[in-house]
Structure 1
Amino acid sequence: MELAQLTTATLDWINGYGTNVLVALIVLIVGWYLAKWLAYLVVQLLPNTKAFDDTVAPMFGQLVRYGVIITAIVIALSGLGVQTASIIAVIGAAGLAIALALQGTLSNIAAGVMIIWLRPFNVGDYIESSAVNGTVKQVGLFATRLRTIDGLYVFTPNAKIWDATITNYNKEMTRRLSFDVGIDYKADIDLARKVLLDVANADERVLSTPEPVVYVMNLGNSSVDLQLRAWTRTSDHWETRMAINEAGKKALDAAGVDIPFPHMRILAPELVQK
């Protein structure tokens, strides 16, 4: 008799709520995959518009994903008979509890929003701070992804970057390069200056405005220290710097301008004794 009553009760529950549970599961599954698809679509399409770029798109994609998932959960619970007001109250209470427990996470979100708003850097820029350095690959809702010069993957919270001083090597269109060289005290400074200026002016990547200059920076213990200053486009900086280092050394050698180096004089033991 008890088994029959249990069976009847089970069938009644399935008839009354089974369909609603099935629909709720379908809504959750569809919502999950829809959230992933819409987030992907946002990341792919937003950079094609004038108002957004590769820096903004990932964060908007994550916001869309989480928004769709939360909406699907609310719809599923409503289908099970849970009152909307109750759902909102539960979400509010849960949100408050999560906010108190994950204050660091919320600070990362706030930092991410500020990075997107003020734009100290964009995707593709090389940045340096006390927290991290590398080429920015993605600015997310919680963290920023970078790639170092030697190809390492770096994942750092947004708050770590936002709280530090950021140096952006790509923000400005032009950048100055400096070539330091020490010449012998007997060398002709004017000749060395002319040689270095000829090297700079011969490189097409060196800008004519501001024009290259050579200064005597220091009178050292064994050399007169010169510095060549020239400007290039930021994208050409490193290649031009390396090229001028090599070309400058060769040109000074060809012109007979000696570059001194430290010497050590070792006396023979018999001379020391004397």
Structure 2
Amino acid sequence: MEQGIATWGTPIELLERHGPGVSSALFIAVVGWTAAAWAARSVRSLGKKWTQVDATLIPLLASVSRLTILTVTTMAVLERFGVDTKSLFAVLGAAGLTVGLALKDTLSDVAAGLVLLVLRPFDVGDAIEVDGTSGVVDAIDVFQTRLTSFDGVPITLPNSKVRSAKIQNFTRAQRRRMDLTIGVSATADIAHAIATLRDVLSSEPRVLPEPAPSVDVVELAEGKVNLLVRAWTLPADFFPARLELTRHFKERLDAEGIVVPIPQRELHIPLREPERRSAPFL
């Protein structure tokens, strides 16, 4: 006991020696903790008013602001206790570099996710195509983007792949153009066929009048003439109108006696005359 008092001093001496530092450290800790909580609440509150920022980004910004203030507070408290924060920063920097190299792909996904959430090339509910993968956006997370394909299959894409790929947003298009190739018999009356297809287009209410739809010869193929039909619709009407027009084209062409040829091959196999056998010599 006496040896401990001789080494550390009496409680009063300890309080006189370390009291101011402990008091200031506690004060800094309380203020920093309070400021961190206030900053997180403020970001969440302002996030409800920032309509241009995706709602998924608000919790992340709140966490980042809170952790930043807590980190600065922790460093200030350690300095009050005489800890060399420069050495601590060096150790943390080396550890961060090691972790960063190990989690390179994950950090790339996080960075790409932040860019997607800020730039917003698409929103939840948009129909998009990313590098050949199509579907409706279900969620945009920090690490990945989740879609549901048009045939109902869930799709998960890493944000880094989405960010670097070509993105087509069908929902944001003001209108979409459909191209349909209709083949008619090479002996058919082309003018009559074109007039028939144009009449079908004019009777479809989902086809926009401007730009005007068009029908013309696009190719002289083997045994048929291909007609290219181009028409514009609203994005929501694209697939229903395309399916309906395809059916109506076939029905009207049949009704008008215009043949839509089916690819076929005719094989002609010549029959060889039976060889005459000479009678055996007697």
**TM-align CA RMSD:** 3.8
Structure-2 residue corresponding to 1:135: 136
Shift of residue 146, structure 1, vs aligned partner:
1.3
Shift of residue 224, structure 1, vs aligned partner:
0.5
Count of aligned positions: 238
Q: Is the 8 A contact 1:145 1:155 kept in 2?
A: yes
Structure-2 residue corresponding to 1:58: 56
Aligned AA for 2:271?
V
Indicate how the Cα distance of structure 1 residues 204 and 48 shifts in structure 2: closer, same or farther if over 3 A, else same. farther
Counterparts of 1:151-230 in structure 2, within 5 Å, are: 151-230=152-231
Q: Which structure has the larger Rg?
A: 2
Q: Secondary structure at the match of 1:187?
A: coil
Using the size of structure 1 for normalisation, the TM-score is 0.70
Q: Is 2:259 the counterpart of 1:272?
A: no
Q: Is 2:279 the counterpart of 1:258?
A: no
Counterparts of 1:117-136 in structure 2, within 5 Å, are: 117-130=118-131, 132-136=133-137
Aligned AA for 1:253?
D
Q: 1:46, 1:236 → 2: CA distance?
A: 35
Structure-2 residue corresponding to 1:25: none
Shift of residue 187, structure 1, vs aligned partner:
1.0
Q: Is the 8 A contact 1:131 1:160 kept in 2?
A: no
Please give the per-residue CA displacement for 1:216-248, whole angstroms capped at 9, x wherever unaligned: 000011100001110001111011100101011
Please give the per-residue CA displacement for 1:119-174, whole angstroms capped at 9, x wherever unaligned: 33222222223374322222222221111222222222211111222222223110
Q: 2:47, 2:243 → 1: CA distance?
A: 38
Shift of residue 183, structure 1, vs aligned partner:
0.6
Shift of residue 82, structure 1, vs aligned partner:
5.3
Indicate how the Cα distance of structure 1 residues 245 and 131 shifts in structure 2: closer, same or farther if over 3 A, else same. closer
Indicate how the Cα distance of structure 1 residues 243 and 74 shifts in structure 2: closer, same or farther if over 3 A, else same. same
Q: 1:230, 1:47 → 2: CA distance?
A: 42
Q: 1:152, 1:48 → 2: CA distance?
A: 35
Q: Secondary structure at the match of 1:273?
A: coil
Greater share of helix: 1
Indicate how the Cα distance of structure 1 residues 272 and 69 shifts in structure 2: closer, same or farther if over 3 A, else same. farther
Percent identity among equivalent residues? 33
Q: 2:227, 2:48 → 1: CA distance?
A: 47
Q: 1:178, 1:47 → 2: CA distance?
A: 43
Q: Is the 8 A contact 1:205 1:240 kept in 2?
A: yes
Q: 2:271, 2:99 → 1: CA distance?
A: 79
Q: 1:131, 1:196 → 2: CA distance?
A: 31
Counterparts of 1:14-53 in structure 2, within 5 Å, are: 50-52=51-53
Q: Is 2:108 the counterpart of 1:107?
A: yes
Indicate how the Cα distance of structure 1 residues 61 and 152 shifts in structure 2: closer, same or farther if over 3 A, else same. farther
Q: 1:67, 1:49 → 2: CA distance?
A: 17
Shift of residue 45, structure 1, vs aligned partner:
9.5
Gaps of at least 5 residues in structure 1 are 1-33
